[in-house]
Structure 1
Amino acid sequence: MDIKTLYDANINNITIAKNAYDKLFSAFGQHIESWQHDVVDRLGHSEWTGTAAGHANTRIQSLGTELQAAKQELGLVSKVLADAAEGIAAAQAHLISALDDAKNNKMTVAPDGRITWDKDPNSANYAGDKAEATAQEISKRITTALTEADHTDQTISARLGHLATNATNGTGLDAATAKADQAAADALSQVPAAGTDPASVKKWWNGLTDAQQQHMIQTEHDKIGNLDGIPAAARNDANRITLKNLIQDRQTQLDGLGPEPKKMLSVAETNGGPVENPDYTEWKRKRDALLKNLDGFKSIQDRLDGKVDGGVGGPHSDPPLLLLGIGDQGQGRAIISWGDPDKARNVSSLVPGLNSNLAGVGGGDAKTAKRIYDSAVQSAKDNNETPSVASVFWLGYDAPQLDGPAVLMKDRAEEGGAAYNQFLAGLRATHEGAPAHVTAQGHSYGSLVVGQATQQTGGLAADDIILVGSPGVGVDKASQLGVGADHVYVGAAKNDPIASAPAPEMLFPDSAAYETFAHPNASWHGTDPASQSFGAQRFSVADGTTFDSHDDYFGDHGKGGDSLPNVGKIVSGHGNTITREDPR
């Protein structure tokens, strides 16, 4: 598709063709009604019997079915033409808007898309000192419009080609074929259910025109944004809408709580000592929960708007910060990515552990993912490569908090593991070009989530696995994680109380379980990943102290030693260059 072709496209002609098919569809329907009345019904009342009559009635019934199928196929052609008009019109409008802005900024757009402008400050046609940036932005819009038109053209061509083939070879007269074609057309207007195979989701998305995709983002953003198999850029656009709505919804609910009830009931009101007012207790419970969610969502919005850390992560950040998931299920969900995982050659996805929450995603967790990104970029440069990295922070489950025993159980890891497995499968499905080198990372309880993800049917869509501060991953050997033991990397600080936590049986040497299950390399959730018997590659990290070692694997306190550089080497595909440490 070129600029002139799209600019000169006559959308009205497509609409005229669509209207013509509507008339044909209507006329064909009337023909079927006449057939039914003048042929089928009359023969049915003719009292014609015998062998010939039986054969004739069978053929007549078959012909009636074929006519209904043909009518259904004709109606589908009309729908395709309507989608074509909508898609090309949207792309054309985007192109014209970009060309108008070029003209208003005293720029000239050549037929091949090159933009030129007068650079002489003394000229009446001087385009200004920001012309180059403006030209780049307009050029990008022109390219996007042409891509939209190309995509619509290919999508519509495929759909029309299919229907034309059906009409030519007669398969369009088959009721089952017409039913399947109708179902496929209907599916284009329905968002696939959560949990649908990501490859199928991607196929569905590709079957939409760009205009239809944008319509889905605007009207079904809460579904599109969290659906694995939808491209990262579209998820980001959808989730930013959802995030604003979540913030507004929480604020509306807070405003609707009304004034604070009095905290205590008097002696007279209770016929005894003063007690806390039940109305206050319930009001406070609701308020605290809403405020926690609101603060978390706002922290993420502030990060996206560039209001923290000197604008890092704002609208014009490099790399871009994408919001790949957001929701209010359970404790809240949030997935962010520095860089586009659909385009990056190396993709990292970190699962956090104990005490992770929404508020952290916009704050320190975003910085952790950025540190991983920066470290992988540096590793690529050290190896004379052009960096191509995306670093994802994945809070797609209810991480255990400090207020209960959940961290000791596997149920959250099992549920989170299934979701994480689906997420990485989605990244595989939407990636452009050759498959990316994917590194799955788990910190603390998040390492157990990664471990459980590897046990899902089909395994985990990852090439390398990094486990740091791990209390165990639910298996006894690195070879059981599905990527090969030599592609499992473990970091365990000497003074990390979580990575050194013994198995429950080891705490009770007098119990029967101790005799049956306990062994020197046991951790809380299986074999200690840093042990020799587990069989992973252990990389060097700083010993740290009891207070900071568990949280410093990604340089949070600047005391992680070789840990973060080693992580960067693995993420960039250079795990063979890590500084090593002997297993314990």
Structure 2
Amino acid sequence: MTSDYARLLKQDFGDLKAASESWQRVSEEMETAFDRHRTKVTGPLHADWEGDDAEAALTFLEDIEMRLHVARTEAMTIAKTLGTTHFWMEQSQTDLRNAVRSAESEGFVVDDSGAVGEASCEADESPDEAKSKLDRMKRFQDEIDTAVKDARKASADGHKALSELRGDLMDRSNKHMAAESAADAQQAMKDIGVQGPQIPDNPKDAAAWWKALDDDTRREYTTLYPERIGKTNGLPSDVRDDANRLRLDQELNFVEGSDQAVPGIPEDRHNLQVLKDELDKRDGATGSKRLYLLDFDEFEDGKAVIAMGNPDTADNVGVQVPGTGTTMDSTGGQLNRLGKLQRSAEEAEPSESTSMVYWLGYDAPEVPVAEAPNLAVAGTGRADDAAPALRDFTHGLRASREGDTPAHMTVLGHSYGATVVGDADAGGKGLGADDISVVGSPGMTVDRASDLHVGADHFYSGVAGDDPIRQAQGLTLGPDPNTQVFGGTRFSTDTHGHSGYWDDNSKSLANQGRIIAGDKPDKAMYAPIQM
């Protein structure tokens, strides 16, 4: 029987390398098939097809998409496992061959079992020479034995990792297939000693790190570590969208059918389902209307960061921060506002493209009611907590920009979202924005527009005459930003109430569009200082 030593010494690992590359191509094909199916099949059907038959058919089609996800993840896991096993087996072979060559160059022989021996025995060698020879023989034997041991471990680790995969794509009774596949992939990576991507914390550094990776490694990280890739500011928006949609389906698959007695499960599932439903409705959109899921969090009220149009390539980018009472249930309405702002900016500058981003990356204060007073809406605590995350996000958009020409970036805030914007731009290195525009702001956490990094010349505010927020301006969140003493430019509004700033064919909407496009809005009279 051929020994492990003899097999390792002569083994050709070309087939192992080819198999790894083939499985990676399978994963890539599954990724492409999923994207095509989502955008060309289920996306348009979600938008136009209704009724019992539609619901049944879409459930079946979405099951196909889930299985494409599973095949993508497991194929990439197989590819990485085979590739890693190939690397360590080849490294062990190199170590073995080096040890054998070194032993033979010093006059020793290595038999077919890997045992090191003397080629001949010299009768006149001194005790010291004999001891030295024995020491060298032991050293070479240890090197040979270690190389064979390392190869055996690499093989065993690879076998264990592959055994984690269930390969049950045809088992329609398994309701947690995507979640289990993701967990199996992580366990397989641990089995073969892969730690995953080492991503820098700074968005600019993260962008440079990503650009330095080869395409195969990028696909591997996106498929096997979707949460880490999807949450990293500075990475390309299309990459984050791909990773986050994969993660969304995996996490939704995990909570579906889970024990409803487990605390938090109903809310988590609800938030995930709401987000998926809103994305599904728009999956057939293309060009500037295509959505990019840049981040999400299903816990408590939920968080979501969604771009309409690719912010990495658009001429103008607007980041809209919503205010009090915004939860995951608000996603549909907020996306409608995003579409209106985008259209308004494109009407202001028809030759330029605009991407709008909905940034619910913080825990917005709840609407206070008599039965449950909420002091969060009157303090800066939520804004203080949100500010670093918003700064990290906007600087990430700067870092992920394609080409040498930066986008014109406007950060917009409504209600308490304006307070978040003010807090974020006043602190740290600011938001890196060209302009800030707020509506219905209760205060910006600063005394003057000049206290913002963006400066008074690039700060714009608007407030409706009958907006109830005016009763709270100047109280606890900073002075009224619509007064001359605060500074900046107050633009004209012709809408009513606290939520009318996006009414179609209104000056309120048109002026926000002009600001997003880098133009000047129509000015309004300054509000009187409330005493």
Taking structure 2 as the reference length, the TM-score comes to: 0.62
SS of the counterpart of 1:498?
Answer: helix
Tell me what 1:230 maps to: 235
Matches within 5 A, 1:35-114: none
Tell me what 2:375 maps to: 405
Quote the Cα distance in structure 1 between the aligned partners of 2:335 and 2:416. 18
Q: Is the 2:267–2:300 Cα contact (8 Å) retained in structure 1?
A: no
Question: 1:211 and 1:536, CA in 2 relative to 1: closer, same or farther beyond 3 A?
Answer: same
Question: 1:248 and 1:24, CA in 2 relative to 1: closer, same or farther beyond 3 A?
Answer: closer
Quote the Cα distance in structure 2 between the aligned partners of 1:467 and 1:243. 31
Tell me what 1:376 maps to: 345
SS of the counterpart of 1:392?
Answer: strand
Tell me the CA shift for residue 191 of structure 1: 4.1
Tell me the CA shift for residue 347 of structure 1: 0.4
Identify unmatched segments of 5+ residues in structure 2. 1-16, 22-85, 109-126, 129-192
Tell me the CA shift for residue 33 of structure 1: 9.2
Tell me what 1:530 maps to: 482
Matches within 5 A, 1:264-413: 286=263, 289-306=264-281, 312=282, 314=284, 316=286, 318-361=288-331, 363-381=332-350, 386-402=351-367, 403=372, 404-413=374-383
Tell me what 1:551 maps to: 499
| Correspondence for 2:210 among 205, 210, 214 | 205
| Higher relative contact order, structure no. (Cα contacts within 8 Å, ≥ 6 residues apart) | 2
1:250 aligns with 2:260: no
Tell me what 2:424 maps to: 453
Quote the Cα distance in structure 2 between the aligned partners of 1:367 and 1:408. 28
Equivalent residue letter for 1:456: G
Equivalent residue letter for 2:459: V
Equivalent residue letter for 2:443: G
Quote the Cα distance in structure 2 between the aligned partners of 1:421 and 1:239. 21
Quote the Cα distance in structure 1 between the aligned partners of 2:396 and 2:479. 30
- Identity over the aligned pairs, expressed in percent? 33
| Correspondence for 1:220 among 206, 219, 225 | 225
Tell me the CA shift for residue 22 of structure 1: 7.0
Q: Is the 2:315–2:353 Cα contact (8 Å) retained in structure 1?
A: yes
Q: Is the 1:532–1:583 Cα contact (8 Å) retained in structure 2?
A: yes
Tell me what 1:429 maps to: 399
Tell me the CA shift for residue 377 of structure 1: 0.9
Q: Is the 1:418–1:452 Cα contact (8 Å) retained in structure 2?
A: no
Taking structure 1 as the reference length, the TM-score comes to: 0.57
Question: 1:444 and 1:29, CA in 2 relative to 1: closer, same or farther beyond 3 A?
Answer: farther
Equivalent residue letter for 2:252: I
Tell me what 2:522 maps to: 579
Write the deviation string for residues 436-484 of structure 1: whole angstroms up to 9, x where unpaired: 1110111111111111111332221111001111010110111111112
SS of the counterpart of 2:251?
Answer: helix
Question: 1:532 and 1:187, CA in 2 relative to 1: closer, same or farther beyond 3 A?
Answer: farther
Question: 1:211 and 1:535, CA in 2 relative to 1: closer, same or farther beyond 3 A?
Answer: same
Equivalent residue letter for 2:291: L
SS of the counterpart of 1:526?
Answer: coil
RMSD of the TM alignment (CA)?
A: 3.5
SS of the counterpart of 1:324?
Answer: strand
Shifted more, 405-414 versus 532-541: the winner is 405-414
SS of the counterpart of 2:429?
Answer: coil
SS of the counterpart of 2:256?
Answer: helix
Question: 1:533 and 1:243, CA in 2 relative to 1: closer, same or farther beyond 3 A?
Answer: same
1:192 aligns with 2:199: yes
Equivalent residue letter for 2:500: D
Tell me the CA shift for residue 428 of structure 1: 0.5
Quote the Cα distance in structure 1 between the aligned partners of 2:464 and 2:502. 12
Q: Is the 1:304–1:315 Cα contact (8 Å) retained in structure 2?
A: no
Q: Is the 1:188–1:207 Cα contact (8 Å) retained in structure 2?
A: no
Question: 1:469 and 1:317, CA in 2 relative to 1: closer, same or farther beyond 3 A?
Answer: same
SS of the counterpart of 1:387?
Answer: coil
Write the deviation string for residues 71-126 of structure 1: whole angstroms up to 9, x where unpaired: xxxxxxxxxxxxxxxxxxxxxxxxxxxxxxxxxxxxxxxxxxxxxxxxxxxxxxxx
SS of the counterpart of 1:369?
Answer: helix
Quote the Cα distance in structure 2 between the aligned partners of 1:20 and 1:218. 26
Question: 1:28 and 1:435, CA in 2 relative to 1: closer, same or farther beyond 3 A?
Answer: farther
1:414 aligns with 2:362: no
Tell me the CA shift for residue 523 of structure 1: 3.8
Question: 1:236 and 1:206, CA in 2 relative to 1: closer, same or farther beyond 3 A?
Answer: same
Tell me the CA shift for residue 296 of structure 1: 3.0
Write the deviation string for residues 133-171 of structure 1: whole angstroms up to 9, x where unpaired: xxxxxxxxxxxxxxxxxxxxxxxxxxxxxxxxxxxxxxx
Quote the Cα distance in structure 2 between the aligned partners of 1:581 and 1:35. 90
Tell me the CA shift for residue 398 of structure 1: 0.5
Q: Is the 1:413–1:449 Cα contact (8 Å) retained in structure 2?
A: yes
Tell me what 2:78 maps to: none
SS of the counterpart of 1:242?
Answer: helix
1:564 aligns with 2:509: yes
Q: Is the 1:191–1:224 Cα contact (8 Å) retained in structure 2?
A: no
Write the deviation string for residues 364-397 of structure 1: whole angstroms up to 9, x where unpaired: 011111111111111112xxxx221100000101
Identify unmatched segments of 5+ residues in structure 1. 1-10, 39-44, 47-185, 259-282, 307-311, 503-521
Which structure 1 residue ranges, 4+ long, deviate > 6 Å from structure 2?
17-22, 29-36
Question: 1:191 and 1:356, CA in 2 relative to 1: closer, same or farther beyond 3 A?
Answer: farther
Q: Is the 1:425–1:461 Cα contact (8 Å) retained in structure 2?
A: yes
Question: 1:26 and 1:524, CA in 2 relative to 1: closer, same or farther beyond 3 A?
Answer: same
Quote the Cα distance in structure 2 between the aligned partners of 1:550 and 1:494. 10
Q: Is the 2:244–2:294 Cα contact (8 Å) retained in structure 1?
A: yes
Tell me what 1:470 maps to: 441
Question: 1:493 and 1:228, CA in 2 relative to 1: closer, same or farther beyond 3 A?
Answer: same
Tell me what 1:483 maps to: 454
Tell me the CA shift for residue 26 of structure 1: 4.7
Equivalent residue letter for 2:277: D
SS of the counterpart of 1:581?
Answer: coil
